[in-house]
Amino acid sequence: MASTDVARRLRDEGLDSSSWSNGPGDRYGAHEHGYDKVIAVERGSIRFGLPASGRSVDLAEGDRLELPAGTRHDAVVGPIGVTCLEAHLPAGSLGQLTHRIAGAWQDETDGHDAT
């Protein structure tokens, strides 16, 4: 999925996203937010750790992660770096933590819930 497709798909959902990038191997320590967050990968890859469940979610180009407010998470950037688009929503807008692969964004039955 081209990066313009990722941005367009978010816009088509009414999400106002901003872009951020990190280099290979960069890390974010465990933290949480007071707002819901939608993250979509434009380029590269990133692994989000979910300490409460002991699981992790790998995101590659075109993949999307929906993080409800209060979801503790950490992250490690993949070997070629990452560029993501991120949109914030009011807490409670997202029902559950959900991982959608690049081709499954509009298929609500894609079976990729990360809970």
pLDDT for 42:
95
- 3-103 folds as Jelly Rolls (2.60.120)
For 99-108, the pLDDT digits (tens) are 999 877 754 4
87: how many CB neighbours lie within 10 A of its CB? 19
For 29-59, the pLDDT digits (tens) are 999 999 999 999 999 999 999 999 999 999 9
Please report, as a single letter, which amino acid is at residue 59: L
The answer to whether the CB of 55 falls within 8 A of the CB of 97 is no
Q: Write the CB contacts of 47 (distance below 8 Å, at least 6 apart in sequence).
A: 56, 57, 58, 59, 75, 76, 78
pLDDT for 113:
42
For 83-104, the pLDDT digits (tens) are 999 999 999 999 999 999 987 7
pTM for this model (two decimals): 0.86
